[in-house]
Amino acid sequence: MTSDAGFRVRRVYDPPESADGRRILVDRLWPRGLSKERANLDEWLKDIAPSSGLRVAYHAGEVDFAAFQGQYEAELDNAEHAAAVEHLLGLASDGTVTLVTAVKEPENSHVGVLVAHLAEQGHEPRR
């Protein structure tokens, strides 16, 4: 599926920009200390985030980033996550989608893995 649409990545704590298009929160947990109004989201897509077990194992240091990445990529291919991936791809076919997250370094988190997965599907991230 090829489209002129793309994905951007931003922190949810940053003010929205006109170039954001649709703003989709891709974290499993709601960002700490942030109101729904300030987040200015179009959607909260919890099902695209890593499973709670994988998230907890990674943050506890039980798995390194390489193992986390491999396990999350496998999750993105399972039925629960695949539906959410297809939903994002469908949104991107209509215009820019900004994936927003609370993590400090999105490129070194589940968001970086997600963006790479979406790029494999034919959608490159936008800056």
The string of DSSP letters for 103-127 reads: -S-GGGSHHHHHHHHHHHTT--EE-
Instruction: For residue 75, give every residue at least 6 positions away whose Cβ sits within 8 Å of its Cβ, in sequence order, or none.
Output: 50, 51, 54, 81
- Residue 124 scores a pLDDT above 80: no
Q: Quick one: DSSP state of residue 62?
A: S
Percentage of the chain exceeding pLDDT 70: 91
pLDDT band of residue 107 (cuts 50, 70, 90) is confident
How many other CB atoms are found less than 10 A from the CB of residue 50?
A: 22
Q: Taking the model in full, what pTM does it have? A: 0.87
Q: E-assigned strands of the chain? A: 7-11, 22-25, 43-44, 97-101, 125-126
Q: Per-domain residue ranges for the chain?
A: 7-126
- Distance linking the first and last C-alpha atoms of the chain: 21
How many other CB atoms are found less than 10 A from the CB of residue 18?
A: 5
Summarised one tens digit per residue, pLDDT across range 46-91 is: 999 999 999 999 999 999 999 999 999 999 999 888 889 999 999 9
Sheet strand arrangement including 7-11: 43-44, 22-25, 97-101, 7-11, 125-126
What is the structure's pLDDT at 123? 55
